[in-house]
Structure 1
Amino acid sequence: MTGRRRALAALSAVLLLAALTGCVELPEKGPVVETEPSAQVAEQQAAAIDAIPPQEGDAALDIVNGFLNAMTAYPVQANVARQFLAREAQAAWNPDDATIIYGDITDPSADVGGRNVSVTLGDPESLDGRGGWQGPLPADRHRLTFRMVVEDGEYRIADAPDALIVPAQWFSQRFRQASLYFFDRTAQILVPEPVFVPRGEQLATTLIDGLLAGPGERLSGVVRSFLPPNVTVGLSVPISEEGVADITLVGDSGQQNPEVVEKMLAQLVWTLRQEPSISAIRLQIGDERVRLPDGVGEYRVDAAPEYDPTGYQASRLLYGLVDGLLVSGELDTLAPAEGPFGDTGYGLRSVAVNLPATLAAGVTDNGRSVLLAPVRAEAGEEAPQRAVQVVSGATRLLRPSWDFADRLWMVDRTPSGARVILREGERLRGLQVPGVTGQDVRSFVVSRDATRFVAVVRRDGVDRLLLGRVQVDFRGRVREAVGVRTMTFEDADPVRVTDIAWTSPTSVALLSEVVPGELFEVRTVVVDGAPAGVEALSTTVNEAVLGLAGSPVPGARQYAVTGEGVVDLLTSRILELEGRPISLGYVG
């Protein structure tokens, strides 16, 4: 792990430990589970920093050094930093376009003649204007060169990168991860987009600014926004003592019909519920207070549950195969399902249940076929319906994935590499996925909102994580996979990932072998590839683990599935099951 990544991870680990602290039961028997120490840690407000303006007679090196130091002012502002620039450069410089984070930096050095001053950044990575993670900067951008001029007898910078340039440690203390909520292309479900935003009183304003900036061209065909494109938020978003945030949008918004207003409000309340002090919002566009047809003008932040990115009214029960039969229920009440898979042993190796828990897709033991069957018997039926074969002649199918639109995603590991198969309605078709198709794919999951996929691909004996997006057309039909990123693990030894599972709409857990058959590690990563997040905690289990049972629903328990039961990854509690579990998980 680089110095910059360690600095960014430090605060996240502290926050996660605080969130996970609770009653921990010590197991009386079973495997030993080791986790990071846990303690009640209160989040501290970072100290204010006053920027120092340029001083009379400063040398060129001092001006560059002062400019970089001035960008660490807190609360975040660039007014003093702008004073180090030449007059024309002051007007052109836009530090809101991006953020560059570095682990260390060299002292400024000037070329012969002193016309240019340069610094070299160590481990620099960047964010876009909304705070979205962009990853490492290419090597040719590690060195920053500032052209110097003399104005009124003083050195000034003639041009500067359009970015806030700050140290990683400063950044980790003053920024936090949050999400901006947009809609999927069909406007049926909300999609969170992870961003880093400054802490403090301006959090609500920053989040609204990010929403108004829109998802950008990179996410065209993936998500959409219903907020007017030509408006800006007022000077700030005041929050009353009662927790009501007043949002005023300024500019030409055009006519908004009730359906658009409803979607707009859904984006706002889901985004602003991340600010604990806000319980409701009021929205005004121009001089007009926005109201729904029933006249309501104040909207609680827990409204719009029907757009939940984890699936509206999706089942929260566990489903899996125990002794060859489909079981469902809470962990202590697992029982055979009423449908065909719970009544008859079909010889399944894995099973996936759709979000409303009406259909189950099972992969046969030889990995060559997929059977589809209802989870429960229809009302009035004495015997469950039979399973239907929907895929045959495959080579070695991985466990399928369902999304909110009842699409079934399957990956067949053929001798020539992976083949992605998609079932939309009753139609099967192949889908070319960059970095996945034709490769040695070990795991593949799709997010419930159907806009993301995560795959584990093995190349030259090394596992890599592929993170990509899914585009659909205006009818909701999957068009293509785009924006694929590869994440390489920085461990000294190659990581062997044996399973992956969603732990939130924007993060996945990875199960990897540390000592084959004996010691397993569970770690979490954020889907945008950011190196740190509030989920960044490592857990080890001293027993053979078959797979993970993970859910993106807030508060859902995450489990490591063993040959005899499960290990609760939050409490370390060992829970034995009656029968032999083959696989266990949540819907999706």
Structure 2
Amino acid sequence: MRIVRMLRGAIVVAAALGLAACAALPTTGDVRPGLAAGQADTSSDVAYVPQGPSDGMDPEQIVRGFIDAASSPKDSWGIAREYLTSSAAQKWKPDVGVTIDASLSDRRYDAPTVAKGATAATVRLGLQQTANVDENGNYSGSAVSGSSELPFSLAKGADGQWRITSAPDGIVLDAQSFAAGDVFAPYALEYFDPTWTYLVPDVRWFPKRENTASRIVQSLVTGKPSPWLTNGVRTAFTGDVALARNTVTPVAQVAEVALTDAALSADAATLARMRTQLERSLADLGVQQVKLTVGGRDLNAGSASAASTTVDSRPLVLTDKGFGFLSDGEVTPVAGVSAELTSFPHPITAIRASSGAQRVVVQTADGVVYAVADGKVDEFDSRPGLAAPALDPFGYIWTVPQQTPQAITAWSTSITPRPITGPQDASQLTALAMSRDGSRLAMAVVVSGQIRVEVAAVTRDDRGAPTAIGPPSVVSWPPGPVADITWLDDTTVGVLTSDNNSTELLEQPVGGPKTTVAAPDGTRTVAPAPSLLTIRLLGGTGVLWVRSGPNWPQVSTNVKVLGVQLGG
């Protein structure tokens, strides 16, 4: 599911003087119909039109109005600029980022009383910052809210009206309004994995404006991947090819991207990869085709293939009836695997499966990790205290002792170990999961007594062999112990945790705010499905639940193990 659809919500606004916009909680929607020909999705579902300044407003009211108006990017934040002097309006850069605070009620305006006849004033906005978006669109959250202060300088004009002479660049949004995605929205810049097999999304937040397509293209062609992801991806835009025109305006679902003459020297494979990266990155704006041109001439670039990461619509389970795909109460076995797992000599506690479950990795109750394929069972790792294993699309099995997070091992199909240095500052690593493109490793770790979920890029050679993981990026701070993690889709990690004796599923986008979903008590395993709407959970009593809207209807019982599918 595309990231924009995943996080999109509706906003209900009260447009009263001095109050900032209020947004509804984000909800996950179903597959949305496509746009009509010639239509591009560049505006919010609900347009919020703030008020401009009124005569007689004091400095605090001006700053409040400015903060409120800055939540509308219409006409390049035209209404917000009315609160600025003409000089300040030209200098202010609203689209360089977002300061995200906990709530509107936590904001505090420090506005000293202005003496009669004064022509200058300073107002300070105090807030509890929970996250921010930087000038490149990268989202960063924090474990706890931190106090932050934004200063504003004001002057009284010849007409007797106060205006802001200096304001911090960027805008301020409360967490609820930001998550709704109606001012800044998430867009996935698409890169390739090191083998040019899979597309890897890099989520960025950009203002929802008429020129959003231009911002996406500029970031992809002339920018770089997020710092933590850099060593795990490749791009066809290597720096020699630049944009000949920065503006990209889709027409009839077609976007023309004008490149410099250097593109004439690019081979067919490179041009196809460029076009594919651009088309997939612009898809959420309704773009279906990208034309690469030089001097107005179409380069006739082809399309590069990208392997699928979609999992089977059927749950993969081990039951008393055997192992296989569950449908209508019946288990369809997998040749070369099901018989071996059904008669396995040791109780199985975890299953990770490749596409079609042709190769399965299992962990037994005594912690040993095995691989099963073509009727053959191979033992891989018997180190004590292993976390449940991970499997990547290139056939490597990832194992790590929970109490020795630095000692990650990636095992080839020939049972050859490749040592991978894990997170250096962690004292425990309780769970790990590999993204379906093999470029990102999610880990639940404990650092200085704090539980957190980190994601690190996987460095590989041209054949897909892993060589290292990069510096981790912290994406979540679960409220309690993590029972399981998995990749729910290409951008979202599912974290099964507990808080105050209740079980919760955190849907944590990599590069965005989380959504917390109540899960049935006793849930021990989370597994992906083709849609976030049909996530699968397994309880300790063998009950299998499949998400249906806000509910978790029971679909089966006596399930011993719920398999996690890699997809493809």
Q: TM-score, normalised by structure 1?
A: 0.74
Instruction: Please identify, of 165-174 and 497-506, the stretch whose mean Cα deviation from structure 2 is larger.
Output: 165-174
Q: 2:397 is matched with which residue: 408, 421, 445?
A: 408
Paired position in structure 2 for 1:550: 528
Taking a change above 3 Å as real, the CA distance of residues 566 and 190 of structure 1, as seen in their structure-2 partners, is same
Taking a change above 3 Å as real, the CA distance of residues 49 and 373 of structure 1, as seen in their structure-2 partners, is same
Q: CA deviation at 1:409?
A: 1.3
Paired position in structure 2 for 1:582: 561
Q: Which amino acid aligns with 2:486?
A: A
Paired position in structure 1 for 2:19: none
Q: Which amino acid aligns with 1:561?
A: L
Paired position in structure 1 for 2:199: 190
- CA distance in structure 2 between the aligned counterparts of 1:289 and 1:54, rounded to whole angstroms: 52
Taking a change above 3 Å as real, the CA distance of residues 88 and 286 of structure 1, as seen in their structure-2 partners, is farther
Q: Does 1:372 align with 2:384?
A: no
Q: 1:455 is matched with which residue: 426, 438, 443?
A: 443
**Deviation sequence 1:75-126 (CA, Å, 0-9, x none):** 2614565566677766654333222233333335259995644222233531
Paired position in structure 2 for 1:559: 536
Q: TM-score, normalised by structure 2?
A: 0.76
Paired position in structure 1 for 2:37: none
Q: Does 1:540 align with 2:484?
A: no
Q: 2:151 is matched with which residue: 145, 153, 174?
A: 145
The total of aligned residue pairs comes to 518
Taking a change above 3 Å as real, the CA distance of residues 288 and 373 of structure 1, as seen in their structure-2 partners, is same
Q: Does 1:164 align with 2:171?
A: yes
Paired position in structure 1 for 2:108: 106
Q: Which amino acid aligns with 1:142?
A: S
Q: CA deviation at 1:62?
A: 6.1
- CA distance in structure 2 between the aligned counterparts of 1:371 and 1:185, rounded to whole angstroms: 27
Q: CA deviation at 1:467?
A: 3.4
Taking a change above 3 Å as real, the CA distance of residues 565 and 162 of structure 1, as seen in their structure-2 partners, is same
Taking a change above 3 Å as real, the CA distance of residues 133 and 350 of structure 1, as seen in their structure-2 partners, is same
Give the 3-state SS of the residue equivalent to 2:306 in structure 1: helix
Paired position in structure 2 for 1:256: 266
Q: CA deviation at 1:537?
A: 5.2
Q: CA deviation at 1:459?
A: 6.6
Paired position in structure 2 for 1:420: 408
- CA distance in structure 2 between the aligned counterparts of 1:326 and 1:149, rounded to whole angstroms: 74
Taking a change above 3 Å as real, the CA distance of residues 417 and 510 of structure 1, as seen in their structure-2 partners, is closer
Q: CA deviation at 1:267?
A: 1.3
Paired position in structure 2 for 1:525: 508
- CA distance in structure 2 between the aligned counterparts of 1:365 and 1:170, rounded to whole angstroms: 46
Give the 3-state SS of the residue equivalent to 2:453 in structure 1: strand
Paired position in structure 2 for 1:73: 72
- CA distance in structure 1 between the aligned counterparts of 2:477 and 2:351, rounded to whole angstroms: 29
8 Å CA contact retained: 1:315, 1:587: no
For 1:358-507, list aligned pairs within 5 A: 358-367=358-367, 369-374=368-373, 377=374, 384=375, 386-392=376-382, 394-414=383-403, 419-424=407-412, 426=414, 427-434=416-423, 438-439=427-428, 441-458=429-446, 463-472=451-460, 476=464, 477-485=466-474, 487-489=476-478, 495-507=480-492
Give the 3-state SS of the residue equivalent to 1:68 in structure 2: helix
Taking a change above 3 Å as real, the CA distance of residues 540 and 221 of structure 1, as seen in their structure-2 partners, is closer
For 1:54-453, list aligned pairs within 5 A: 64-65=63-64, 67-75=66-74, 77-79=76-78, 81=80, 92-102=91-101, 103-104=103-104, 105-109=107-111, 114=120, 116-123=122-129, 125-136=131-142, 142-147=148-153, 159-168=166-175, 171=178, 172=180, 173-199=182-208, 203-212=212-221, 213-227=223-237, 230-231=242-243, 235-240=247-252, 244-249=253-258, 251=260, 253-254=262-263, 255-275=265-285, 277-292=286-301, 306-308=306-308, 310=309, 318-323=315-320, 326-328=323-325, 330=327, 332-339=329-336, 342-343=339-340, 344-347=343-346, 348-355=348-355, 357-367=357-367, 369-374=368-373, 377=374, 384=375, 386-392=376-382, 394-414=383-403, 419-424=407-412, 426=414, 427-434=416-423, 438-439=427-428, 441-453=429-441
- CA distance in structure 1 between the aligned counterparts of 2:144 and 2:27, rounded to whole angstroms: 31
Q: CA deviation at 1:361?
A: 2.0
Paired position in structure 2 for 1:36: none
Taking a change above 3 Å as real, the CA distance of residues 331 and 496 of structure 1, as seen in their structure-2 partners, is farther
Q: Which amino acid aligns with 1:512?
A: T
8 Å CA contact retained: 1:447, 1:453: yes
Give the 3-state SS of the residue equivalent to 1:572 in structure 2: coil
Taking a change above 3 Å as real, the CA distance of residues 304 and 342 of structure 1, as seen in their structure-2 partners, is farther
Taking a change above 3 Å as real, the CA distance of residues 119 and 455 of structure 1, as seen in their structure-2 partners, is same
8 Å CA contact retained: 1:51, 1:72: no
**Deviation sequence 1:426-479 (CA, Å, 0-9, x none):** 43133222267541x322112112232222235788643333333446665332
Q: Which runs of 5+ in 2 are unaligned?
A: 1-8, 13-21, 33-42
Q: Which amino acid aligns with 2:353?
A: V
- CA distance in structure 2 between the aligned counterparts of 1:73 and 1:209, rounded to whole angstroms: 23
- CA distance in structure 2 between the aligned counterparts of 1:252 and 1:86, rounded to whole angstroms: 42
Q: CA deviation at 1:182?
A: 1.8
- CA distance in structure 1 between the aligned counterparts of 2:169 and 2:121, rounded to whole angstroms: 20
- CA distance in structure 1 between the aligned counterparts of 2:11 and 2:421, rounded to whole angstroms: 35
8 Å CA contact retained: 2:129, 2:145: no
Give the 3-state SS of the residue equivalent to 2:472 in structure 1: strand
Give the 3-state SS of the residue equivalent to 1:469 in structure 2: strand
Q: CA deviation at 1:509?
A: 2.3
- CA distance in structure 1 between the aligned counterparts of 2:328 and 2:491, rounded to whole angstroms: 25
- CA distance in structure 2 between the aligned counterparts of 1:453 and 1:546, rounded to whole angstroms: 20
Q: CA deviation at 1:290?
A: 2.9
Taking a change above 3 Å as real, the CA distance of residues 280 and 117 of structure 1, as seen in their structure-2 partners, is same
- CA distance in structure 2 between the aligned counterparts of 1:49 and 1:331, rounded to whole angstroms: 51
- CA distance in structure 1 between the aligned counterparts of 2:73 and 2:322, rounded to whole angstroms: 59
Q: Which amino acid aligns with 2:139?
A: W
Percent of residue pairs bearing the same amino acid type: 19
- CA distance in structure 2 between the aligned counterparts of 1:239 and 1:349, rounded to whole angstroms: 53
Q: Which amino acid aligns with 1:352?
A: R
Taking a change above 3 Å as real, the CA distance of residues 141 and 245 of structure 1, as seen in their structure-2 partners, is farther
Q: Which amino acid aligns with 1:127?
A: V
- CA distance in structure 2 between the aligned counterparts of 1:124 and 1:515, rounded to whole angstroms: 22
Q: CA deviation at 1:365?
A: 2.9
8 Å CA contact retained: 1:64, 1:108: no
8 Å CA contact retained: 1:434, 1:481: no
- CA distance in structure 1 between the aligned counterparts of 2:533 and 2:327, rounded to whole angstroms: 11
